[in-house]
Amino acid sequence: MRTMKLGTSNLEVPVIAVGCMRINSLGQAEAEKFVQTSLEAGANFFDHADIYGGGKCEEIFADAIHMNDDVREKIILQSKCGIRQGMFDFSKEHILNSVDGILKRLRTDYLDVLLLHRPDALVEPEEVAEAFDQLESSGKVRHFGVSNQNPMQIELLKKHVKQPLVANQLQLSITNANMISNGINVNMENSAAVNRDGSILDYCRLNDITIQPWSPFQYGFFEGVFLGSEKFPELNQKIDEIAEKYEVSNTTIAIAWLLRHPAKMQPVTGTMNLERILDCCKAADIKLTREEWYGIYRAAGNVLP
């Protein structure tokens, strides 16, 4: 598996992150096989969140990988906190309690990366800074980042937080590519020109923050997978055509499209299917041409000015 640096850290990570949000849909033997298959493919970066399965996903993962000190040294663990029932919470107390719960469920002493899950309108960045300092000094968290945040929200945190923010997990796929489209359609009067995120793509590139695209196969907000969907005939025809050229699956090409972007993103998979996780990993070895990348972009219904 090809690797990259995560943000400004010295953490060397695979270019594919394995999302574990749905691991609670698997039985014990299936979960073990899924984790082992990922590891054999070189995908040893596992993404979690304390809300996935109400915390159950982290427990299932720890059982599936047979967590112990030797195993822990061979994997990279990321988890997220900040979402509560009916609210978001970046208070110091909640962050610290959440991390303790995450570590207990994952049966580990530390997280490689902790992300703040969704922006909290009531965030007091001074409290976040205190929580991060305590987590870092105690050795419970080694690196920090955010999820679904725009540039000014990150700047507000950076005013108080001394640790580098190494990652920003954002929804991005071929069919959910507004952060790319608004940069292409600058000064245009079409809907693609609407800047909905404060130019977060350029901001992350300027500040060496790794973008981790989530739901890389979804259209809309969990409305479905665009691969094989009758709603996207032209897109699927183009992807299938390129997949045939490279002798890989359409899944591989969809991930390769994200990896082709020079922002050096780290897509987060969501599949629990063994064949598809392997297909995702194969994307690390493919670099689409400029013509292929734009061909897929336009086939998704995106227009060039």
For residue 37, the tally of other CB atoms under 10 A from its CB is 17
Catalytic residue list contains 246? no
User: Distance of CA 253 to CAs 94, 108, 175, 284, Å?
Assistant: 40, 35, 14, 10
Distance (Å, whole) CA 273 – CA 37: 10
Residue 136's SS3 state is helix
The β-bridge partners of 115 are 80, 145
Catalytic residue among 52, 203, 219, 297: 52
Alpha-carbon torsion 99, 136, 204, 297, what sign?
negative
User: Distance of CA 159 to CAs 9, 29, 143, Å?
Assistant: 19, 46, 17
Distance (Å, whole) CA 169 – CA 147: 4
Q: Which residues are catalytic?
A: 52
